[in-house]
Structures are given as structure tokens and as C-alpha cells.
Amino acid sequence: MPAFVVEALVAHRAAGYGQPAIDGLVFTGPQGSPLDVDNFRNRQWAQAVKHASLEGFRIHDLRHTCASLAIAAGADVKVLQRMLGHASAAMTLDLYGHLMPGQAEAVAERLDAAARGTAKSKNSTRAKRAHGTSAVDHPEQPHLPLPGLHEWRRWDSNPRPSGCKPDALAN
């Protein structure tokens, strides 16, 4: 969760809103009970979107906005899948893949750099174009150097049973 969201939630709770328990409600009705979705939508949401000139903007649209912003920030598909609670990354890609243009070009550039043994940064010109103004590294993933072609055997992503010799599979 981004720090600015944590800070906003802490301030919200400090102002006396929500329930104090770790698993308590963040947003409650006037008596501290769970929100009634229909009441909230009709009494607060509708007025807020009208005031913001966003008529037709649904509560669920906030979820799509969050996903779109995460993609623009460089979120990995698996991270996005877990964040949204989707059953599979394929579902996430089906819904949001159109928001990821140019990523194939950025991957091709990194593969080219690996093949030449010149591991370029994700912040190359092509990657910047693909992701907007800057490409974002993913801090939750360890940064591994991109090996040249002669080193690919060390980075084998297709493990074999112990005792199996890779050259024996070539025949």
C-alpha cells in the first residue's frame, strides 16, 4: 500500500472515523455500523460525483482507476492480480492488457541487451516511451543482472530432474 494511503488512513482514524480494531471497518455509517451501499450511493456518492461533474462515475470505477494508475506506475501483472484479487494473471491481462502498450518492445530491448552482454537499464529511451515518462523498477522483485548468451545455462528457468544432463536432451 502506498505511504500516502497509509497516512490518509491514519489521519482518518485519528479524526475519530472508522473502528479502532486492526480488522475494524474503515468507513462506517453514522452509528458506527457497516455502510449500507444503497444509502451511501444515493446520499453521498451521487452528490459527490455530481459536484465533481463526473455524472455516471460508479464506485466500481475507482477499482479500475486504481488498476490503471498501478499499470502506469509499472506494476507487474502478478502484483496487480494479487492487488485486485483476480483468480489468475490471465484474467488481469484480459481486463487491463490494453493499458500496457509497448511492453513487448521494452522486453525485446532487454533481451537484445542480454544477448549482447550489455545489460541496459530499464530506463532506456525505448522503455521510457513504452511506459510514459519513466520506466519504474519493481522493488519487490530482486534485480538480477541480464546474462549474455554464454551465461544462460546458469539462469535456466526450466529445471530438470537431478542427474539429468542437459546435453542428453539435445538428441
| Residue 121 placed within a domain | no
Q: Which residue has the higher pLDDT, 59 or 145?
A: 59
Average pLDDT over residues 148-158: 43
| Residue 84 placed within a domain | yes
The pLDDT value recorded for residue 53 is 93
| Residue 142 placed within a domain | no
Residue 39 and residue 69 share a domain: no
For the cut 80, the answer to whether the pLDDT of residue 118 exceeds it is no
Average pLDDT over residues 18-33: 83
Is 28 within 8 Å of 40 (Cβ atoms)? no
Confidence of residue 132 (pLDDT cuts 50, 70, 90): very low
At 148, which amino acid appears? G
Residue 65 and residue 47 share a domain: no
| Residue 150 placed within a domain | no
Q: Which residue has the higher pLDDT, 122 or 90?
A: 90
Confidence of residue 162 (pLDDT cuts 50, 70, 90): low
Residue 43 and residue 21 share a domain: yes
In the chain, where does DSSP find H-type helix? 3-14, 37-40, 46-51, 61-72, 77-84, 89-96, 103-116, 125-131
| Residue 38 placed within a domain | yes
The count of domains in the chain is: 2
Q: Of 147, 11, 133, 160, nearest to 72 (Cα)? A: 133
Q: How far is CA 107 from CA 18, 81, 86, in A?
A: 44, 20, 24
* Parent domain of 30: 3-51
Average pLDDT over residues 122-151: 43
Q: Which residue has the higher pLDDT, 5 or 159?
A: 5
| Residue 17 placed within a domain | yes
| Residue 30 placed within a domain | yes
Q: Which of 99, 126, 161 is the last residue of a domain?
A: 99
| Residue 78 placed within a domain | yes
In this structure, what C-alpha cell is assigned to residue 28? 462506517
